[in-house]
Amino acid sequence: MNETNIPHNPEAMPEEVPAHAPSSPLDSPTSQINDLLDQKLESAFHMQTSQVMLHDLAKIAIEHDPIDLAYAVTRLPTSVRHVVFQNLPNLDAKVIFISNVSENSRSAILRQTSDSEIVRLVDNMAPDDAAWVLEGVTERRCKRILDLVDKAKAERIRELLSHGLDSAGRLMTNEFFAFPMQTTIRQVAANIRDNPGIELTQSIFVLNDEQELVGIVPSRNLIVNSKDLPIRQVMGPVPHKIGPDAPRDEVVDLMERYKLAILPVVDQANKLVGVVTGEDIVEVMEDIADETIASIGGTAEDLEEDDPIWTRFLLRAPWLFVTLLAGLVTACGLAHFQEAPWFAVVPFFVPLITGMSGNVGIQCSTLFVRGIATGEVSSGRKRELVMREIGIGSLIGLIFGLMCGVMVYALNRLGAHQVSSDSFIVGSIVSCGVFGACMTATLLGSISPLFFARVGVDPAVASGPIVTACNDVLSTFMYFLVAKLMYMVVYT
């Protein structure tokens, strides 16, 4: 994203940034700014009368940071978000705003923005930012706009757009400084001064005679060394690089593991085609976190957008339908076994079994999902980690099974929870049932993330409603099996 600074109204700052420490995340400074802007925008748009007070809106746009406005605009109907954009005070503010709004907001705004205005935005953006912005327009319109942009810049943008959406090629910027090995520091400095539009100056790349990437020069080395030294004498090795088709997860993994500020992107001939920066990775990590949370919650719903209730229902319903089916399967099992002599006391403890097994399964699958995301769970270690979880699940099942059995025995014995005349049998069934359910949940919680990762599905699904529902069904039937076996052992 562009880092152009927008001057603020000093009188507005005390109102925008509260001085007191927030008592909760809901009261953080950014949350309070959002609430303040919500109130101002609602007043300026006069929601009840559908009138827009342009004077008030222009004042809001001048007083507030365009980044804050980009977040606040998602609370408005999509049809009027372009009005905020059009009332921003200058082109720099519009560039920052359009670079930070959500994808749906950007598409809605660009639909009501002229081609000439979009061309002005693109001309003042880095190619990688422009590529993201042009994702919000149709392919035909994108081509028409790029035909109006400077040819060199348009070519850079087309190159970025040619790569897959979630690849390193789309994350990278293709504006950087790279020089032959014999170039002196003085010549490098002069070239940087002559190209103020290229922002990536923290590292300079060094190329050999075949234009292959051979080294990196940190910006500090350009300052502390003699201006007449060739950069080959102050360069360091390239510790890590990646191909343009590499998935974004691989890029994040490399940069997070090795704490890289930049990651060069090279083609098959080892020629430098772009650079991924830490700022780009922060945005990708936010996107991955959003998708992971949605998968765990069992919804593809975008909480930022003004979608109708029916649309939000449709986004949640498929996952919940699986839960409904799982509940019906459990109910059918209860109905099928109700005449069995061993089933007399079983239904009373089904909520206990499903509750314990559900929590055990979620804990286990969450740890595996996190381990897969951070690289701690690998193909070579998966057997070891599964066995470790089984050991932990066995210990949990044993200890909590005994605790449940003792408490059920005592309650039944004292008459506080009278479900059978034989307190010992009831306590034993519950104890063994909890152990079996915990073991079942541990196995499912350990194996399902590995299975989903193997077939190319987000492992976070393993912590979502689908696997949770399956876990409840399997744990309940394991409990039935244990109860039946205990009854057979005691009475035959």
Q: What is the pLDDT of residues 228-258, one digit of tens each?
A: 999 999 999 999 999 999 999 899 889 988 9
- The predicted pLDDT at position 307 comes to 63
Percent of the chain with pLDDT over 90: 39
- The predicted pLDDT at position 305 comes to 56
The residue that leads in pLDDT, 139 or 283, is 139
Tell me what the mean pLDDT of segment 131-152 comes to. 92
Q: Is 309-491 a domain of CATH 1.50.10.150?
A: no
Between the ranges 153-157, 426-430, 460-464, where is the mean pLDDT highest? 153-157
Determine phi and psi for 350, rounding to 5 degrees: -60, -45
Domain ranges of the chain: 10-164, 178-285, 309-491
Looking up tokens 């070519």, which residue turns up?
155
- 10-164: which CATH architecture? Alpha Horseshoe (1.25)
The residue that leads in pLDDT, 9 or 210, is 210
**Separation of alpha carbons 350 and 348, rounded Å:** 6
Residue 25 pLDDT greater than 80, yes or no: no
Instruction: Name the 3-class secondary structure at 290.
Output: helix
Residue 16 pLDDT greater than 70, yes or no: no
Element (H, E) at 178: strand 178-180
User: Would you place residue 121 in the very low, low, confident or very high pLDDT band (cuts 50, 70, 90)?
Assistant: very high
Residue 341 DSSP symbol: G
Cα-Cα-Cα-Cα dihedral of 169, 173, 174, 180, to 10°? -110
Query: Which residues fall within 8 angstroms of residue 176, CB to CB, at 6 or more apart?
Result: 198, 200, 205, 272, 274, 275
**Could you give the C-alpha distances from 201 to 71, 131, 238, in angstroms and in order?**
29, 21, 16
Least confidently predicted of 58-67, 114-123, 218-227: 58-67
Least confidently predicted of 4-8, 139-143, 260-264, 359-363: 4-8
**Could you give the C-alpha distances from 488 to 48, 85, 335, 437, in angstroms and in order?**
70, 74, 20, 19
Q: CB–CB of 44/78 below 8 Å?
A: no
Tell me what the mean pLDDT of segment 113-141 comes to. 92
DSSP 399-428: HHHHHHHHHHHHHHHHTTT-S-S-HHHHHH
**Separation of alpha carbons 307 and 289, rounded Å:** 21
Do strands 203-207 and 178-180 pair parallel, antiparallel, or not at all (unpaired)?
A: parallel
- The predicted pLDDT at position 12 comes to 41
Q: What is the pLDDT of residues 348-395, one digit of tens each?
A: 889 989 999 989 988 888 888 878 877 778 778 888 999 999 999 999
- The predicted pLDDT at position 465 comes to 76
- The predicted pLDDT at position 492 comes to 65
Q: What is the pLDDT of residues 188-199, one digit of tens each?
A: 999 999 998 888
Element (H, E) at 157: helix 151-161
R_g (Cα) of the chain, nearest Å: 30
pLDDT, averaged across the chain: 84
Q: Give CATH superfamily name and number for 178-285.
A: CBS-domain (3.10.580.10)
